Amino acid sequence: MPEPLAKKVLLIGWDAADWKVINPLLDQGLMPTLDDFINHGVMGNIATLRPILSPMLWNSIATGKRAHKHGIHGFMEPDPQNGGIRPVSSTSRKVKAIWNILTQRGFKTHVLGWFAGHPAEPINGISVSDLFPYATAALDQPWPLPPGAVYPENLRDTFTQLRMHPAEVTEAAILPWIPRAAEIDQEKDKGLTSFAKILAENCSIHNAATWILQNEPWDFLAVYYNGIDHFCHGFMHFHPPRMDGIPEDKFEIYRDVVNGAYRFHDMMLQTLLDLAGPDATVLLVSDHGFHSDHLRPRGIPAEPAGPAVQHRPFGIVCIKGPNIQQDERIYGATLLDVTPTILTLFGLPVGSDMDGRVLVQAFEEPPQISRIPSWEQELGECGMHPSDLRMDPAAAQAVLQQFVALGYIQPPSEDQTKAVASAVREANYNLARDYLDCGRPDEALPLFEDLAKNDPKQSRFQMHLAQCYLALNRRDAAKQILESLITADLNPPAEPASQAEVGAEAQPAVAAEVKAEEVASPDAIKDDATPTETKPPAPRPWADLLMGIIHFEEGNMDEALASLLKAEQSDPRLPNLHLRIGETYLRQKRTDDAGRAFQQALEIDGDSPEAHLGLAMVNLRKRENEAAAEQALLAVGLQHFLPLGHFYLGVALARMGHRQRATLAFETCLSMLPGLVAAHRWLAALHSQPGGDLDKAVRHRSLYAQLMQQRKTRAQV
Amino acid sequence: MMQMLAAGGLPVLTDGERQADADNPRGYYEWERIKLLPQQPDSIAEAEGKVVKAVTQLLFALPPGRDYRIIFMQRPLPEVVASQAEMIRRRGTSGAALPPAALISGLTVHLNQVNNWLRDRTDISILRVDHHDVLRGPVAIAESIQKFLQRSLDIAAMAEQVDASLYRQRVSP
């Protein structure tokens, strides 16, 4: 068993925290605690997973597993007690979270406010559910904690007292953020109400965290703050520079809220660090970023996925503590890496069924990593709810349907029925997208087929089904869907459909994300100050983009380019469009055009690993090896699991004469993509040089020959 | 059970809306409005001092502030599912879209949740009665009910209500 590398671990979750907002604040000295944190630890981007939906993401952070394994597939689930819906619950999680594993190994473990944390789990410590901070009544009315919000039950009264009600947010608390608050007409503008609600909820969570750190022994504490995400959903459109369409008076009133949110979190961080003490290892992570610049969307698509268009695919990760490097950057982290890293900090084995890896780069010395097949099979009390209380929400719904059919209970109301159907549909959609995102289109297919069949007007389902067919090399099926979408878009129905149908018909595909966190906090971000819900872009540009991809894969570069340029005409900011255009130009040997396309992709998203990858290829073509190496490093820095990035880096380094570094890059590439023929050929060549490893040269030459033979055989077949 | 309780001398809250049928040729003692308990929890006041029949799902809606006595009828779930399937077939409705084994599993979890919830309700007392025991020894069951309710009941009349011929959905031994 490896030695523990941490005495105790504090895991802090800042939903939606993003370096793009933080860096200017650090430069101005406005986040001094975080500045000191990263000077004494490591920092980096953390890549999110798709769909970018917080309950799924935070449970991936806590389990090291993707959503199809952990079972949390959305915000809401059917409620077997009332026939309606409820926030997704801890009884729906199918696998152990880090606090369960640590409970099983006897560590004093606490968790606060985590998504899908209700009812609180009976762990070896204190568990406070995500329903804890919400005020359910006016301040002068009773607002008891919901049953099951705190474990152990004898601390219920203590934690009840730790909550802050929005009505307790005073002028003194508001004015530093919104100095011109007095100018707000609160009859029309509910911005202050939203503000107070978010602030109070996060203060409640913070009070609970500091109480535990002050009063309880602890080995591990995980605390989740939703403040940055909620403040950003509510006020990012007032963040400087002023967006088109935002009235100047409102801009001036609310312009400092987002920065204020980050500075407030910095202050809370200082308290947590002081209480945790210098010997604690602290991880600060977010689940995704949040567009804060020219990429801010002008409207929110009117669909369950709407507000997530504001999310950026990279969040933050910072770690500091004993045995952790100081003032260093780490690269290629994903949400899935957090739990394996914490297990290694405690000297515990990583489950081989976990999808993440240990962030070894963060450690001063490479840590010893042990593995077991799975923590799920390890026996012992782990503080999960008993398995006989955990039920698949869909099964729970079926049981209710049985009672209705027997006439034992009243059928749910029309609203409830719709809400349940929507929750089940969105959960299936999210699950399918998770399968698609992790390269399992065969698992996604039946789900997308059902969704598209049951709800043919929702073009997002059709588009994902087309994508799924494409991933399965069923190009004809994909084409059929896309052609009908394009035709429908070119020939809209003569009579306008109802408003709801228009919204449904117009829903985009790949950009569609699930409605943000307001579900648990219904009016947290909904007010007349938020961007208006807009009709999402028509599906046609997406269809043209996918048609372009199909033509590309069929080798018809002219047709591919025509489709892609058509998509560009309709929506020049379509995600990945310029990457595809660049790749097509590369295939046509139009290197300069390709370079321009990848630069355009970077103008839209400066953190796109694929755009840097494309530029690395362009530079290699032009024999600009130093620039190629730089672009490839940027690409793998943003996304470590990018085998072609390591390959291009290897080629550039080899050409520059850095044989050892090139060898390492090719070996990294092959560890991710063992069948990449060209990497074997390069390694054979490098090892054949004087001072090389001749055995390895022979082995790679042999593997190269085998792979080429296989390729030839496949081609003949 | 409802017939036993009525014969024993207990007032039953029923509206007589649901007529006897092939599933229950001796009639139902049901009160339709109990189904609205989740929306109108205060309606339980009408059942004060009376017997009312409710499915487990509705127990979650019992408001606090009263003293409840629950006679919790238990039967092997495979029999329950088979019986429900037959009733649903006769009613012409459509039940859970689950195979019987999955439905049994779902009902098991549902009952665990109900029992877990009941454990936290100090205002509810429970007498668990096994369906098979009623058929095997109705007198003993009637006596246990009398003890549980702390009321004098007509034990003989209660026992006479038990008609083993209605026990159709047996699980094969």
pLDDT category at B167 given cuts 50, 70, 90 is low
**Whole-number pLDDT of residue A539:** 64
Contact A405 B112 (CB under 8 A): no
In this predicted structure, the answer to whether residue A250 has a pLDDT above a threshold of 90 is: yes
Q: Please, which residues bridge with residue A85 across strands?
A: A78
In this predicted structure, the answer to whether residue A530 has a pLDDT above a threshold of 60 is: no
The tens digit of pLDDT for each residue in A188-204 reads 898 999 999 999 999 99
**Whole-number pLDDT of residue A505:** 26
pLDDT (average), residues B74-88: 89
**Whole-number pLDDT of residue B18:** 65
What's the CA gap between A351 and A358, in Å, rounded? 11
Q: Which two tokens stand for residue A692?
A: 């090389």
The tens digit of pLDDT for each residue in A11-52 reads 999 999 999 999 999 999 999 999 999 999 999 999 999 999
**Whole-number pLDDT of residue B113:** 82
Q: Reduced to 3 states, what is the DSSP secondary structure of residue A312?
A: strand
Question: Pick from A610, A534, A607, A46: which is nearest to A292 by CA?
Answer: A607
Contact B106 A399 (CB under 8 A): yes
Mean pLDDT across chain A: 89
Question: Pick from A184, A322, A331, A323: which is nearest to A247 by CA?
Answer: A184
A127 against B110, higher pLDDT: A127
Question: Pick from A566, A46, A507, A518: which is nearest to A315 by CA?
Answer: A46
Q: Which two tokens stand for residue A552?
A: 């590309």
pLDDT (average), residues A594-616: 92
**Whole-number pLDDT of residue A489:** 64
Contact A402 B110 (CB under 8 A): no
pLDDT category at A388 given cuts 50, 70, 90 is low
Q: Closest Cα of chain B to A393: distance in Å?
A: 10
In this predicted structure, the answer to whether residue A261 has a pLDDT above a threshold of 60 is: yes
Question: What residues have CB less than 8 Å from A319, skipping those under 6 apart?
Answer: A41, A42, A281, A282, A283, A284, A330, A341, A359, A362
**Whole-number pLDDT of residue B173:** 43
**Whole-number pLDDT of residue A17:** 98
Which residues in chain A have their CB less than 8 angstroms from residue B98's CB?
A: 395, 398
What's the CA gap between A652 and A665, in Å, rounded? 10
Is residue A410 less than 8 Å (CB to CB) from chain B? yes
pLDDT category at B163 given cuts 50, 70, 90 is confident
What is the enclosing helix (H) or strand (E) of A263?
helix A257-276
What's the CA gap between A542 and A512, in Å, rounded? 11
Question: What residues have CB less than 8 Å from A127, skipping those under 6 apart?
Answer: A99, A110, A111, A112, A117, A120, A121, A150, A151, A383
The tens digit of pLDDT for each residue in A211-237 reads 999 999 999 999 999 999 999 999 999
Between A404-408, A467-471, A577-581, B87-91, the lowest mean confidence (pLDDT) is in A404-408
Question: Pick from B67, B24, B29, B28: which is nearest to B45 by CA?
Answer: B67
Contact A402 B95 (CB under 8 A): yes
Length of chain B: 173
**Whole-number pLDDT of residue A349:** 97
What's the CA gap between B37 and B16, in Å, rounded? 18
Q: Closest Cα of chain A to B156: distance in Å?
A: 30
Q: Closest Cα of chain A to B106: distance in Å?
A: 6
* ipTM at complex level: 0.75
pLDDT (average), residues B44-52: 94
What's the CA gap between A179 and A583, in Å, rounded? 50
pLDDT category at A5 given cuts 50, 70, 90 is very high
Between A130-139, B92-101, B163-172, the lowest mean confidence (pLDDT) is in B163-172
pLDDT category at A513 given cuts 50, 70, 90 is very low
DSSP-assigned letter for residue A676: -
Q: Which two tokens stand for residue B138?
A: 């109705």
**Whole-number pLDDT of residue A532:** 52
What's the CA gap between A480 and A114, in Å, rounded? 43
The tens digit of pLDDT for each residue in A66-79 reads 999 999 999 888 88
Which residues in chain A have their CB less than 8 angstroms from residue B60's CB?
A: 81-82
For A396, the closest chain B residue by CA position comes to B106
What's the CA gap between A444 and A513, in Å, rounded? 17
Which residues in chain B have their CB less than 8 angstroms from residue A147's CB?
A: 120
What's the CA gap between A221 and A276, in Å, rounded? 10
Question: Which residue, among B88, B90, B110, would best test binding to A if mutated, counting the most A CBs under 10 Å from its CB?
Answer: B110
pLDDT (average), residues A544-557: 93
**Whole-number pLDDT of residue A137:** 87
The tens digit of pLDDT for each residue in A486-512 reads 887 655 544 333 333 222 222 222 222
In this predicted structure, the answer to whether residue B75 has a pLDDT above a threshold of 60 is: yes
**Whole-number pLDDT of residue A534:** 53
Q: Please, which residues bridge with residue A110 across strands?
A: A221
DSSP-assigned letter for residue A509: S
CB A529 within 8 A of CB A323: no
pLDDT (average), residues A311-323: 95
In this predicted structure, the answer to whether residue A303 has a pLDDT above a threshold of 80 is: no
Residue ranges with strand state E in A182-306: 220-225, 280-285, 289-290, 300-301
CB B169 within 8 A of CB B104: no
Contact A408 B98 (CB under 8 A): no
What's the CA gap between A498 and A457, in Å, rounded? 12
CB B109 within 8 A of CB A81: no
**Whole-number pLDDT of residue A229:** 96
CB A507 within 8 A of CB A303: yes
**Whole-number pLDDT of residue A691:** 87
Is residue A403 less than 8 Å (CB to CB) from chain B? yes
Helical axes A257-276 vs A19-27, angle rounded to 10°: 80
- Write the DSSP assignment of A348-362 as a string of letters: PPEETT-S----GGG
The tens digit of pLDDT for each residue in B103-149 reads 888 888 889 888 888 887 889 999 999 999 999 999 999 999 999 99
Among the partner-chain residues A83, A398, A409, the one whose CB lies closest to the CB of B98 is A398
The tens digit of pLDDT for each residue in A52-61 reads 999 999 999 9
CA A105 to each of CA A101, A124, A220, B25, B107: distance values in angstroms, whole numbers, following the listed order:
6, 10, 12, 58, 33
Among the partner-chain residues A83, A388, A410, the one whose CB lies closest to the CB of B36 is A410
Question: Pick from A370, A394, A390: which is nearest to A382 by CA?
Answer: A390
Q: Closest Cα of chain B to A121: distance in Å?
A: 14
pLDDT (average), residues A692-715: 92
Which residues in chain A have their CB less than 8 angstroms from residue B58's CB?
A: 408-409
pLDDT category at A339 given cuts 50, 70, 90 is very high
The count of CB pairs under 8 A between chains A and B is 85
In this predicted structure, the answer to whether residue A527 has a pLDDT above a threshold of 60 is: no
pLDDT category at A579 given cuts 50, 70, 90 is very high
What's the CA gap between A16 and A14, in Å, rounded? 6
pLDDT category at A308 given cuts 50, 70, 90 is confident
**Whole-number pLDDT of residue A529:** 40
Which residues in chain B have their CB less than 8 angstroms from residue A82's CB?
A: 38, 60-61
In this predicted structure, the answer to whether residue A523 has a pLDDT above a threshold of 60 is: no
**Whole-number pLDDT of residue B23:** 62
**Whole-number pLDDT of residue A395:** 73
* C-alpha torsion sign, points A488, A494, A495, A496: positive
Q: Burial letters for B53-92: b for 16+ Cβ neighbours within 10 Å, e otherwise?
A: bbebbbbbbbeeeeebebbbbebebbbbbbbbbebbeeee
Cis before A340 (ω within 30): no
Residue listed under structure tokens 């050409």? A655
How do B68-74 and B124-130 pair as beta strands?
Answer: parallel
A337 against A673, higher pLDDT: A337
The tens digit of pLDDT for each residue in A455-474 reads 988 888 999 999 999 999 99
